[in-house]
Amino acid sequence: MGFVRVGGVPHHVVVEGSGPVCVLSAGLAMSWFDWDPVVPLLAPHRTVVRFDRPGHGLSGPAVVAPSAAGEAHRIAGVLDALALDGPATVVGHSIAAFHAEAFARLHPARTAGVVLVDASVEEHARVPAAPAVRTALARAAAAALSAAGAPAALGPPVRRAVVRLSRPGHAPDPAPAALVRRCYATSRVLAGALLENTHYRAVAAELLALRERHPLPPGVPVTVLAAPASARWTARQRALADLLGARFEAVPDTGHLMMLDQPRVLAGAVLAAGDRPRAHAPGA
């Protein structure tokens, strides 16, 4: 466990295992330790990289608003800082699925596979107006809540409640209490979550534009894993897989936090994506 500096921000990273590289990026307001159940299943076969985006986990605060291209380049920057220049399987959960797909489109030579875990889906997103004003409002809200003591008082219990509501049968949050308090009782993580949430639709709209200009690399395996939230959600996830030419798998007995509920299924998908041979474009 350590820190690397990318874009002027210290990023908390954890690297374990050996072999081909896979990168795990969690959803909005989640942390590196949310991948704990998956890592022991991957580390004997993969070099597993976990990192916290700015304002998440233990990373420094965000200095710029998130964008699809910016998050794709962030993944590349983390790998560069770790001197891992070979192709990587990129795993994106929830909103981080936007980032994983953008990475594959903008860094095709560095992509060995993509696994989207109960991915955020926005079929018709448009860039909201006044992004700078939205950023300022998010930062002001975070500052006001922090001044009122909200992170220390509410951060850890809200984290626990969100995890419970996201799991089948309201299963408890397995994260250690000390880690939850260390991260979620801070104004830094509150501000990071508000900033990402504020720019969610802008990032989604940017990804739609990237799809028009930057095709996925030929032959790179893509997998879409979907939680059975509803028939409509499953249909949207299947449509995403069809759009990307991806393998689709509806995973039973899981909520949105599949890494906690079905770590073996998720790890199996990551290993399978990395093991599948990559086809070459005609004439390549």
Residue located via tokens 């929830």: 94
Spell 87-124 as b/e; 16+ CB within 10 A means b.
bbbbbbbbbbbbbbbbbbbbbbebbbbbbbbbbbbeee
CA distances from 208 to 69, 125, 127, 190 (A): 12, 8, 10, 28
| pLDDT given at position 1 | 76
Burial class of residue 127, CB neighbours in 10 A (0-12, 13-18, 19+): middle
| pLDDT given at position 274 | 74
| pLDDT given at position 284 | 30
Residues, the chain: 284
At CA 257, angle to CA 112 and CA 20, rounded to 5?
20
Instruction: Write out the chain's pLDDT in tens, 284 residues.
Output: 799 999 999 999 999 999 999 999 999 999 999 999 999 999 999 999 999 999 999 999 999 999 999 999 999 999 999 999 999 999 999 999 999 999 999 999 999 999 999 999 999 999 999 999 999 999 999 999 999 999 999 999 999 999 999 999 999 999 999 999 999 999 999 999 999 999 999 999 999 999 999 999 999 999 999 999 999 999 999 999 999 999 999 999 999 999 999 999 999 999 999 775 554 433 33
As a whole number of Å, the end-to-end CA separation of the chain is 39
